[in-house]
Structure 1
């Protein structure tokens, strides 16, 4: 995955970091292959307002 690295100040390849517990597939972190800077990739969560809509009408 190619992302912008703030440390390198350019687009670099990011991969899951090497971990002792070997959970690379489920790891949300990615490490820059050039400098080792790590970022966390978070999923996009859509929050929906489930309250009923209230319509305001002008009195006639």
Structure 2
């Protein structure tokens, strides 16, 4: 997940791991959903126009 990626990237860039409170903050966010906006928690159900436009722009047509 993104925490594992971020931790590894921080380690490779700085030589040290991020502080443990970063993962604890993410866990607290899931424990108190009333504090975190729903849009931050739920992934989009389908591609939106921006995703389609990005894919069409970035990927060559075959």
Q: Do the two structures share a fold, i.e. TM-score over 0.5? A: no
Higher strand share: 1
Higher helix share: 2
Given the two structures, how large is their TM-score scaled by the length of structure 1?
A: 0.19
The structure with the largest alpha-carbon Rg is 1
